[in-house]
């Protein structure tokens, strides 16, 4: 019997989940739920589309509900709300507000006897896991996380809000020299500027003052002022042709010392190079949906993160198969 | 109350565990057990040394026993034997015999109400975990594991058995071009020769036939014949000066496709660069000792692998601390 999955929302992440489920024989997408008019939403896989108002009526038809809203306003409301009816998985990624989100979701999920898996994806998610494993192993050491090369939606949006800008795409790029220093166990203390550069591809309105736009970008507080930023003005055609993708990725490193005198250095490195940020994130969510379902079947309830999930629960393989082929 | 650790054996791995425990405030080494005459074993940390025959008498004084024997003959006997009295951790690394070892240990640990954590380290261990996570996420893809640059004890021993060889050290080295092809998502099918090269540093007896030794190494079945092998003859002084360490490491990669037409490629890469193979392995074992103790405190029993352990159980941090600082 396949695990029955529902999706709330139909943006890039939801579309990625739709594709990921097709790669997993033990899962089945049963419906998409939307806040829009259901008849206006055409879904690739052809599953039924229902109004979000129908969700509670479908609680016996769905094993795990994937919440594909945003972290700013959607998930803080949706995850506790739907954990009352479903095992849920979300990708809540506002790091500073995770403790508060956890508490709200935990209360709802425990009361309902459900598992609610929050902050799943790659950061938070796989990067967090790698920070935890590496810290548990190398107790005397330093952590480093680099992001990119990849598209930052927030920074791209910030550029688009500048007067005279028609469209824009911003790439976050790790600085090679900083990565090299970390890998060489030099334990550098890195400033914001030393870790990442920012590269912007900007389509200006006709007649706009390019020098003024460039200056506004480079001096924008929080977003760009603390970074070495490069601005390229290109045409709309070039933007669509060369910068249509949503790639991302990054590096998590921990270096640490062992031995009687701390005489031995070690480097643990995890990296991702992703053609599609939302599709990869979706794959992680689907694996954790399997775990949420299995854990709830064993009587586990409450809010969980990637830290609480035994790796075996993510895999469709049996224990015997895993030990024989992956261990 | 610190977790009380015992160690059986006092070779390189045990010495690494002794150092690793010093880095963990919540753990305490209480004794070393040996098959040698206890008074002949001087331990760095100064804890008591007992005969292995004393082990069963100490069962109430030790929370987790670390088994530091070899996989060929020690652990198949020791792990089931001592799982009858202790939570145990071993580094059993004969991949092909893991299912059999698991079955034997599971029966003993379940009957005794203990947790027995087997095949802990980095391969099997952290590399296995990364294979499992990456396979659960990227369902349509390919796995690659490369080892090195590092010292292979088995290959060094094989060279030492050749007539005319006084001493030797062998390094396993991944082929850069193969790694580059994997990272580029070319999904290469790699032969043994294409994945790794072998570099040997050999001290010959006086008057030995160097050409004959070199030929014997390069044509040795299983060990060297399938690889491009380089042999350097050096002096004993050079060997001790330049090749005294036990470095190792390697790379686990999975590449896979997502999207409606499999149009997006992704690369997940995990790598280790270790100055001391046994000391790093020891750090992993100590983290899993913490998990074995905690799981047993919760009433869990039986044989477990890294696949069965929720990451949170490895960390000395509380759930709140982990979510606030690592997620």
CB-based burial of residue B231 (10 Å sphere; 0-12 exposed, 13-18 middle, 19+ buried)?
Answer: buried
Note the residue count of chain A.
Answer: 327
Nearest-neighbour CA in chain A from B278: distance (Å)? 10
Can you tell me which residue has the tokens 């010292």?
B151
Return the C-alpha torsion angle A56, A60, A63, A67, nearest 10: -10
Chain A residues inside the 8 Å CB shell of B272: 266-269
DSSP E strand stretches across A242-305: 248-258, 264-274, 302-304
Neighbours of B318 (CB within 10 A): 10
- The per-residue pLDDT for range B119-173, each reduced to its tens digit, is 999 999 999 999 999 999 999 999 999 999 999 999 999 999 999 999 999 999 9
Residue A205 DSSP class: P
DSSP code at position A149:
S
Classify the C-alpha dihedral A204-A209-A215-A216 as positive or negative.
Answer: negative
Q: What's the whole-number mean pLDDT along residues B239-268?
A: 98
* Distance separating the N- and C-terminal Cα atoms of chain B: 27
How far apart (Å, rounded) are the C-alpha atoms in residues B100 and B147? 25
Residue of A29, A136, A245, A247 to mutate for B, most B C-beta atoms under 10 A: A136
pLDDT of residue A1: 85
β-strands A141-147, A248-258 pairing: antiparallel
E strand or H helix that includes residue A167: strand A165-174
- When pLDDT is cut at 50, 70 and 90, the band that residue B1 belongs to is confident
- Residues comprising chain B, all counted: 327
Whole-number Cα distances in Å, B288 to A292, B119, B256: 24, 11, 30
With a pLDDT cut of 70, the percent of chain B lying above it is 100
| Cα gap A291→B29, rounded to integer Å | 36
Residues A304, A89: Cα–Cα separation, whole Å: 9
Question: Is any Cβ of chain A less than 8 angstroms from the Cβ of B277?
Answer: no
Contacts of A275 in chain B (CB under 8 A): 258, 263-266
Residue A150 burial class via C-beta count within 10 angstroms: exposed 0-12, middle 13-18, buried 19 and up: buried
DSSP string of B30-85, one letter each residue: EEEEESS-GGG---TT---EEEGGGGGGGTTT-SEEEE---TTTHHHHHHHHHTTT
Task: Spell out the residues 6+ positions from residue A283 whose beta carbon is closer than 8 angstroms to its own.
Answer: A16, A20, A23, B137, B138, B139, B258
Q: Does B102 touch chain A (CB under 8 A)?
A: yes
Q: Could you tell me if B202 and B233 are in contact, meaning their C-beta atoms sit under 8 angstroms apart?
A: yes
Which residue carries 């070899």 as its tokens?
Answer: B70
SS3 content of chain B, % helix, strand, coil (to 5): 40, 30, 30
Report the residue from A128, A266, A279 with minimal CB separation from B274: A266
Measured CA to CA, the distance from residue A290 to residue A294 in angstroms comes to: 6
HSE (side-chain half, CA atoms, 13 Å) at B271: 21
Q: How far is CA B71 from CA B144, B159, B286, in A?
A: 24, 21, 18
Please give the DSSP secondary-structure letter assigned to residue A301: -
Does the beta carbon of B24 lie under 8 angstroms from any beta carbon of chain A? yes
For residue A270, the chain B residues in CB contact (below 8 A) are 130, 269-271
Cβ atoms of residues B132 and A129 within 8 Å = no
Q: Which residue of B has its CA nearest to A126?
A: B133
Q: What is the nearest CA distance from B174 to chain A, expressed in angstroms?
A: 17
- Number of inter-chain CB pairs under 8 A, A vs B: 211
Residues in chain A, pLDDT under 50: none
Q: Which residue has the tokens 């350097």?
A: B232
Q: How far is B51 from chain A (nearest CA, A)?
A: 25
How far from B206 is each of A84, A206, B123, B203, B319, CA to CA, in Å?
A: 80, 83, 38, 9, 62
Q: Round to whole Å and give the CA distance between B16 and A139.
A: 13
CA angle B186, B190, B193 (to 5 degrees): 140
Quote the CA–CA distance of B239 and B213 in Å, as a whole number: 17
The total of other beta-carbon atoms located within 10 Å of residue B30's CB is 18
Q: At how many degrees (to 10) do helices B12-22 and B277-297 cross?
A: 60
Judged on CB neighbours under 10 Å (0-12, 13-18, 19+), A316 is middle
Q: What is the pLDDT of residue B49?
A: 98
DSSP code for A123: T
For B91-113, what is each residue's pLDDT tens digit? 999 999 999 999 999 999 999 99
- The answer to whether the bond into A147 is cis (omega within 30° of 0) is no
Exposure class string for B181-202: b at 16+ Cβ within 10 A, else e: bbbebeebebeeeebbbbbbbb
Average confidence score pLDDT of chain B: 97
Residue numbers in B near A139 (CB within 8 A): 20, 23-24, 283
């Amino acid at each position: 019997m396949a695990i029955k999955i529902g999706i709330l929302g139909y943006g890039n992440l939801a579309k990625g989940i739709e594709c990921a489920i097709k790669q997993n024989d033990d899962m089945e997408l049963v419906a998409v739920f939307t806040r829009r008019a259901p008849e206006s939403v055409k879904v690739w896989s052809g599953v039924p589309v229902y109004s979000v108002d129908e969700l509670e009526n479908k609680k016996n038809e769905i094993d795990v509900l994937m919440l594909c809203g945003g972290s700013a306003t959607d998930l803080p409301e949706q995850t506790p709300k739907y954990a009352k009816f479903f095992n849920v998985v979300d990708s809540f990624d506002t790091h500073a507000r995770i403790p508060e989100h956890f508490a709200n979701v935990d209360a709802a999920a425990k009361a309902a006897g459900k598992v609610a898996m929050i902050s799943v994806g790659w950061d938070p998610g796989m990067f967090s896991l790698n920070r935890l494993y590496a810290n548990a192993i190398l107790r005397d050491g330093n952590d480093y996380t680099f992001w990119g090369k990849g598209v930052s939606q927030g920074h791209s949006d910030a550029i688009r809000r500048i007067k005279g800008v028609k469209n824009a795409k911003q790439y976050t790029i790790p600085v090679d020299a900083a990565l090299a220093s970390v890998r060489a166990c030099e334990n550098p203390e890195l400033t914001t500027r030393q870790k990442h550069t920012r590269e912007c591809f900007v389509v200006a309105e006709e007649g706009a003052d390019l020098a003024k736009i460039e200056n506004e970008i480079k001096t924008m507080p929080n977003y760009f002022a603390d970074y070495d930023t490069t601005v390229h003005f290109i045409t709309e055609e070039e933007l669509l042709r060369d910068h249509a993708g949503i790639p991302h990725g990054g590096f998590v490193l921990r270096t640490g010392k062992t031995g009687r005198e701390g005489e031995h250095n070690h480097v643990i490195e995890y990296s991702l190079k992703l053609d599609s940020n939302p599709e990869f994130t979706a794959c992680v969510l689907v694996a954790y949906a399997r775990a949420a379902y299995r854990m709830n079947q064993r009587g586990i309830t409450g809010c969980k993160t990637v830290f609480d999930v035994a790796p075996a629960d993510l895999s469709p393989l049996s224990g015997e198969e895993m030990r024989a082929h992956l261990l």
